[in-house]
Amino acid sequence: MSVDITVTIGGAAGQGIQTVGDLLAQVCQKAGLYVMAINDFESRIRGGHSFVQIRISDHEIFSPRYEIALLVALDRQTVLLHQNKIPDGGIILSGESFDDAQKPITAVEFDKLAEEAGGKITANTVAAGSCLALLGAPFEFLKDILAARFGAKDSSVLEKNIKAAELGYQAVAETEFKWAFAWEKGPEKGLLMNGTKAIALGALAADCRFASFYPMSPATGVIRNLTEMTEHIPFVVEQAEDEIAAVNMIIGASFAGVRSMTATSGGGFCLMTEGLGLAGIAEIPIVIVNAQRPGPATGLPTRTAQGDLLFVINASQDEFPRFVFAPRSVSEAFTDTIRAFELSEKYQVPAIILTDQFLNDSVFLTTEQFTAPSSVPRFIAADADLDDPENYHRFAVTESGVSPRALPCRGKAIVKSSGNEHLEDGHISEDKDNRTRMVNKRNAKLEAMTGEMNGPEEYFEDAEILLIGWGSSAGAIKEAVDLLRDKDIDAGCLTFSDMWPFPAEKALAAADNAKKCVTVELNSTAQFKRLLRQQTGIHCAGSILKYDGRPLFPQDIIEEIDRFL
């Protein structure tokens, strides 16, 4: 039997729904299942409505589903907001019953059982116990996870939690659940990973040593992970006074020779754009993570979007080459981060990693191996690599546009850099011929940079309807293709992660046999459709657009596909 179940745990911020979600995900991982979980929350610390939605499956999954088989409601709001997504046979598990519930409620007195176990704080463990009992999971699985989670603490904490889990488990032992299935133990299929953690690991694997940031959702998690991971590794994290300082600090650190990064969201990226241009003209490698959320201005701080694509490609005045990567998955968030550091340094240009709240905050069980590279190539010139270090010119014109990059105070070569237009030696110049030469020098990098870009991933690319998307919505698009094909609709997809310089030739080759192209994007003006047209001439029949701040579900595509049949 095929397993594919969605469990939603909802409540107010501060009720600990995350804990229930984590426990379920870990138990599933131990059992050799696949999971993915989205975190949906408001911009507040207490109250309101938040939920964790976990999809459990026996095959790898990359997107959430609408239909909820099991709803764990820690408050009434959760019942009202989610009960319409519960099909027949689904269960609402709640500590109390509500008059306005339209679906049957299985009551488990989470708080009372928690107090019986030794403290109200264990109510979430009670809920996790009930969920797993309904799903048919052996109790031992949960016990093992609790031991790993609380084992290091005072032994009474673990005892209370095991007791709480047991009480929750027994409370529904007699309840029949249509989606219960036979659980087996392991083997584990892979790592539980979210985007922020994957980017932080990628940064370490690229030998990044400095991160400067100003807190902003949904980017802060990248820095939090870096901070936790570098407790025993020489690495400096500095909370800057603002995003302008953050980007200028990493420019200074990178100029001095240390690989450096910052992470922000659209509003902070706006403040960084002058610095981005400085890195462009002064040819300083830096990596900026822009985790998208809906805007403009403050927009929806804790929600997701893909509205910054054209902005980051064009951000800052005038023109200069840059890289933009939009990872499609957590494993690609890891590898794209490594690539961003390497290519940024190789071509001495800024690199932007364009993620979003969905990829940053969602947890995926990934089968990809996360492997630290055996060495990290550096693209730095020491005195010995230079013909005449005493007459070093930082911006020497070369055919490739890339000048040998010496570091200040590391030898005889004196490094002079300016954000004003400059001569090859770094001094300011307003000479018209020099200006043209320097613009050409910087732009000369574009050809080789374009060669570094990967084309789209192809999936039934010769189909009648070709869905085209980018970044983190790739998972939902691919799954929509499967669902459409099950309905005998000849659909396929192309999904992009390497956004700029745009891999136009590879895109054209991939779309060679396309009959009808439709972009799928989380913005209101079909930014990728426009970019694709601009860079390749490919004409799309239209777009499926979603901009309510929520992640893309395969169903969003299915519901709109009729327009294109």
Partner 1 sequence: MLTKEDFFCDFENKWCPGCGNFQILDAMKEAFAEMDLSPEKLLIVSGIGQAGKTPHFFKCNFFHGLHGRALPVATGAKIANHDLTVVVSSGDGDCYGEGGNHFISAIRRNIDITLLVHNNKVYGLTKGQASPTSDIGFQTKMQPHGVIAESFHPLTAALAFGAGFVARGFSGNKAHLNQLIQKAIAHKGFSMVDIMQPCVSFNSVNTHAWYKKRAYDLADKNHDTTDIDAATALSRKWGDEIPIGILYQKESSSYTDRIDHLDQGPLIGFTYEKERVQQQIDNG
- Please, which residue, 3 or 256, has the CB nearer to partner 1? 256
State which amino acid sits at residue 202.
Answer: G
C-alpha separations of 250 from 210, 231, 268, 496, 497 in Å = 7, 20, 15, 28, 25
Is residue 161 helix, strand or coil?
Answer: helix
Query: Would you say 94 or 262 has its CB closer to partner 1?
Result: 262
Edge-to-edge strand ranges of the sheet holding 457-459: 457-459, 491-496, 465-470, 516-521, 542-545
Q: How far is the CB of 398 from partner 1 (least distance, A)?
A: 21
Provide, rounded to whole angstroms, the least separation between the CB of residue 339 and partner 1: 16
User: For residues 231 and 259, is the Cβ–Cβ distance under 8 A?
Assistant: no
What token pair was written down for 333?
């968030």
Confirm if 377 and 370 have CB atoms less than 8 A apart: no
Q: Is the Cβ of residue 262 or residue 306 nearer to partner 1 in the bound state?
A: 262
CB nearer to partner 1: pick between 114 and 251: 251
> Minimal distance in Å, beta carbon 37 to partner 1?
16
Angle, helices 195-205 vs 330-347, to 10°: value is 40
Q: Report the alpha-carbon distance of residue 397 to residue 32 in Å, rounded.
A: 56
DSSP tag of 467: E
State which residue, 364 or 528, has the beta carbon closest to partner 1.
364
25, exposed or middle or buried, with CB in 10 Å at 0-12, 13-18, 19+?
Answer: buried
User: Can you point out the beta strands (E) in 465-504?
Assistant: 465-470, 491-496, 498-500
- Pull the structure tokens for residue 156: 């009474």
Q: What DSSP designation does 563 have? A: G
Angle of CA points 472, 478, 479, to nearest 5°: 105
Q: Which is nearer to partner 1, 74 or 246 (CB)?
A: 246
| Site of tokens 């396929």 | 492
Strand order in the sheet with 105-107: 105-107, 91-94, 70-73, 4-13, 47-57, 34-40, 363-366, 191-194
Q: Where are the alpha helices (DSSP H) in 118-242?
A: 123-135, 139-150, 155-171, 195-205, 220-229
Q: How far is the CB of 376 from partner 1 (least distance, A)?
A: 4
Residue with smaller CB distance to partner 1, 107 or 372: 372
* Parallel/antiparallel/unpaired status of strands 350-356 and 4-13: unpaired
Task: Tell me which residue has tokens 């902070």.
Answer: 268
Query: Is the preceding peptide bond at 187 cis, omega within 30 degrees of 0?
Result: yes
Q: Which of 15, 212 has the CB closer to partner 1? A: 212
Sheet containing 350-356: give its strands across: 236-239, 210-213, 260-264, 286-292, 350-356, 323-325, 498-500
Q: Are 177 and 134 in contact (CB under 8 A)?
A: yes
Tell me the closest approach of the beta carbon of residue 438 to partner 1, in angstroms.
Answer: 15
Rounded distance between C-alpha atoms, residue 486 and residue 503, angstroms: 31
Least distance in angstroms from the C-beta of 174 to partner 1: 36
Nearer residue to partner 1 within complex by CB, 426 or 551: 426
- Asked if 299 and 271 count as a contact pair (C-beta separation under 8 A), the reply is no
Residue closer to partner 1 by CB (options 184, 228) is 228
CB nearer to partner 1: give 132 or 200: 200
Q: How far apart are CA 17 and CA 551, in angstroms?
A: 19
Instruction: Provide, rounded to whole angstroms, the least separation between the CB of residue 33 and partner 1.
Output: 16
Q: Which is nearer to partner 1, 159 or 238 (CB)?
A: 238
Q: Closest separation between CB of residue 408 and partner 1, Å? A: 4
Query: What is the smallest separation between the CB atom of 451 and partner 1, expressed in angstroms?
Result: 26
| Residue 432 Cβ vs partner 1, minimum distance, rounded to whole Å | 17
Q: Which is nearer to partner 1, 255 or 269 (CB)?
A: 255
* Measured distance CA(536)–CA(494) in Å, rounded: 14
Minimum gap (Å) between residue 221 Cβ and partner 1: 16
Taking the complex as a whole, the smallest distance from the CB of residue 247 to partner 1 amounts, in Å, to 8
Return d(Cα 426, Cα 420) in angstroms, integer. 9
Q: Which is nearer to partner 1, 278 or 489 (CB)?
A: 278
CB of 326 to partner 1, least distance (A): 23
Binding site for partner 1 (CB under 8 A): 191-192, 201, 204-205, 207, 209-210, 212, 229, 233-236, 238, 240-242, 244-246, 248-258, 260, 274-275, 278, 282, 370-376, 407-409, 411-412, 414-420, 426-428
Closest listed residue to residue 239, CA positions, set 254, 224, 228, 256: 224
Residue 280 CB, nearest distance to partner 1 (Å)? Answer: 12
